[in-house]
């Protein structure tokens, strides 16, 4: 099947063709988000088995996302040069290796190695996914494609607690990691069987092109506003993923099972929000404003949870509902980035911008892990809410800067 690098609004592409591409990319994206929780879900186990502190287990995620962030920025250049498909296959293989290594971990140094391997495997997904969708999905369906992409990511997050915690309770945590390794190998096999749907056109550049020209996109202010948005909004998400279960247990006496289900509910609400957000993204003229409203509502929900006034059940319900607000803004966020991206620099821009996500995930455990060690549970949630509000300012700045980028493209 030939690659369609610039499908126009006037072209008619069969729905089945677009759906197949989006489905495969979505499956890969779900596996990426699943990897984000490979370690955090086992924090209580690691802390008990290896006598670790919150700061130490938080450092595992810092290592994961530092490696992922550096790798993601580099992967953007590799995608433009080599195409997306080879990096997608490599990522699945590395994540399978990371899970296998986790099943054999016998101490903190081994867990640090697992974190680095998993971060390397996670690094390529955003530049790979968006390059494939921008080249292989017809323009009229891109908003819904971005919606499905975000939805599958949230489903990957939602599946991780059920998969890993469930298998740990049925057997043990080492068996759960071995099963995860087999899952990644099965996904790799499926992607390989349908590899014709995942091919992309590499960017062809004159041999003598100056290196400064290849990096010219980094001079665009909008790229750095996008980066800042992802960094700030992701710091909040990292708090929910890494510490919400511990906060619920410490403040409200919620069981670890109920707290874990709250995290799953947050992800499922996020997925539902993504589905609704696809329709919003397709109709909204100003994606940045949709993102700003959604993130503001989510920040207010988190601030309300930090007060402790809602009790255990009320806090769990509102925390889960926060995912709905964030999810609604997700497809508009992706459209916002697309409109800010110069043509012929998709891989590089997405790699750089989405590395802000990794930086946010890397910083958040260090900052808020210290809060948790001191028992500042309310301050942790309130700090997450404030950080999310800062991301609103970044999103609005992207909206102001995007027309300049469009003219340069």
Q: What is the DSSP string of 262-313?
A: HHHHHHHHHHHHHHHHHHHHHH-S-HHHHHHHHHHHHHHHHHHHHT-TTHHH
Q: Where do the H-state alpha helices sit in 2-107?
A: 15-36, 43-50, 54-82, 85-103
Instruction: Return the pLDDT at 216.
Output: 65
pLDDT band at 105 (very low <50, low <70, confident <90, very high): very high
Measure the N-to-C terminal CA separation of the chain; round to a whole number of Å. Answer: 28
State yes or no: pLDDT of 155 exceeds 60.
Answer: yes
State yes or no: pLDDT of 208 exceeds 60.
Answer: no
Residue 92 falls within a domain, yes or no?
Answer: yes
Instruction: Return the pLDDT at 6.
Output: 43
pLDDT band at 1 (very low <50, low <70, confident <90, very high): very low
pLDDT band at 94 (very low <50, low <70, confident <90, very high): very high
> Three-class SS of residue 3?
coil
Q: For residues 55 and 371, give the distance between their C-alpha atoms in angstroms, rounded to a whole number.
A: 9
For the residues 312-331, what does the mean pLDDT come to? 89
Q: For residues 16 and 262, give the distance between their C-alpha atoms in angstroms, rounded to a whole number.
A: 35
pLDDT band at 394 (very low <50, low <70, confident <90, very high): confident
CATH code of the domain covering residue 220: 1.20.1250.20
What's this model's pTM, rounded to 2 decimal places? Answer: 0.74
State yes or no: pLDDT of 360 exceeds 80.
Answer: yes
State yes or no: pLDDT of 281 exceeds 90.
Answer: no
89 with 192: CB under 8 angstroms? yes
What mean pLDDT is reported for the chain?
83
Q: For residues 186 and 189, give the distance between their C-alpha atoms in angstroms, rounded to a whole number.
A: 5
Q: What is the token pair recorded at 292?
A: 């700003």
Instruction: Return the pLDDT at 383.
Output: 93
pLDDT, tens only, 242-272: 788 888 888 888 887 788 788 888 888 888 8
pLDDT band at 406 (very low <50, low <70, confident <90, very high): very low
For the residues 190-209, what does the mean pLDDT come to? 76
Residue 3 falls within a domain, yes or no?
Answer: no
Residue 296 falls within a domain, yes or no?
Answer: yes
Q: Which residue has the higher pLDDT, 89 or 58?
A: 89
Residue 207 falls within a domain, yes or no?
Answer: no
Residue 49 falls within a domain, yes or no?
Answer: yes
For the residues 84-96, what does the mean pLDDT come to? 93
pLDDT band at 206 (very low <50, low <70, confident <90, very high): low
For the residues 104-130, what does the mean pLDDT come to? 92
123 with 67: CB under 8 angstroms? yes
Q: What is the token pair recorded at 16?
A: 């089945």
What's the structural domain count of the chain?
A: 1
State yes or no: pLDDT of 37 exceeds 50.
Answer: yes
pLDDT band at 5 (very low <50, low <70, confident <90, very high): very low
Residue 175 falls within a domain, yes or no?
Answer: yes
Q: For residues 288 and 399, give the distance between their C-alpha atoms in angstroms, rounded to a whole number.
A: 5
Instruction: Return the pLDDT at 333.
Output: 80
Residues in the chain: 409
pLDDT, tens only, 120-150: 999 988 888 888 888 888 877 877 788 888 8
Residue 88 falls within a domain, yes or no?
Answer: yes
Domain range for 294 is: 15-201+216-408
Instruction: Return the pLDDT at 405.
Output: 42
Q: Which residue has the higher pLDDT, 151 or 10?
A: 151
Q: Which residue has the higher pLDDT, 371 or 76?
A: 371
Instruction: Return the pLDDT at 245.
Output: 81
For the residues 349-362, what does the mean pLDDT come to? 78
Instruction: Return the pLDDT at 200.
Output: 79
């Amino acid at each position: 099947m030939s690659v369609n690098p610039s499908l126009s609004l006037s072209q008619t592409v069969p729905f089945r063709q677009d759906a197949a591409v989006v489905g495969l990319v979505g499956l890969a994206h779900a596996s990426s988000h699943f990897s984000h929780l490979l370690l955090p879900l086992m924090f209580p186990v690691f802390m008990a088995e290896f006598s670790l502190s919150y700061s130490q287990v938080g450092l595992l995620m810092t290592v994961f996302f530092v490696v992922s962030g550096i790798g993601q920025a580099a992967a953007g250049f590799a995608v433009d040069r080599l195409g997306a498909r080879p990096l997608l296959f490599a990522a699945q293989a590395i994540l399978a290796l990371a899970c296998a290594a986790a099943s054999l971990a016998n101490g903190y140094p081994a867990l640090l190695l697992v974190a680095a391997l998993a971060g390397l495997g996670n690094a390529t997904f955003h530049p790979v996914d968006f390059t494939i969708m921008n080249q292989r999905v017809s323009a009229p369906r891109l908003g819904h494609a971005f919606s499905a992409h975000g939805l599958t990511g949230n489903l990957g997050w939602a599946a991780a607690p059920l998969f890993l915690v469930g298998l740990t309770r049925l057997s043990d945590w080492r068996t759960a990691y071995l099963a995860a390794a087999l899952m990644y190998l099965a996904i790799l096999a499926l992607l390989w069987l349908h590899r014709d749907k995942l091919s992309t056109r590499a960017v062809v550049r004159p041999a003598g092109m100056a290196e400064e020209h290849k990096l010219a996109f980094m001079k665009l202010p909008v790229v750095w506003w996008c980066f800042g948005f992802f960094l700030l909004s992701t710091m909040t998400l990292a708090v929910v993923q890494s510490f919400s279960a511990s906060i619920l247990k410490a403040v409200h006496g919620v069981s670890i099972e109920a707290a874990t289900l709250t995290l799953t509910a947050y992800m499922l609400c996020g997925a539902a929000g993504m589905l609704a957000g696809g329709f919003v993204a397709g109709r909204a003229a100003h994606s940045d404003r949709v993102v700003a409203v959604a993130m503001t509502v989510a920040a207010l929900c988190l601030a309300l949870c930090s007060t402790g006034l809602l009790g255990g059940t009320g806090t769990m319900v509102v925390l889960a509902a926060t995912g709905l607000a964030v999810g609604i803004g997700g497809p508009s966020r992706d459209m916002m980035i697309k409109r800010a991206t110069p043509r012929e620099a998709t891989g590089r821009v997405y790699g750089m911008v989405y590395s802000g996500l990794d930086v946010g995930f890397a910083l958040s455990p260090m900052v808020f892990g210290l809060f948790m060690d001191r028992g500042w549970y309310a301050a942790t949630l309130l700090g997450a809410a404030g950080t999310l509000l800062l991301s609103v300012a970044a999103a609005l700045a992207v909206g102001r800067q995007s027309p300049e980028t469009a003219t340069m493209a």
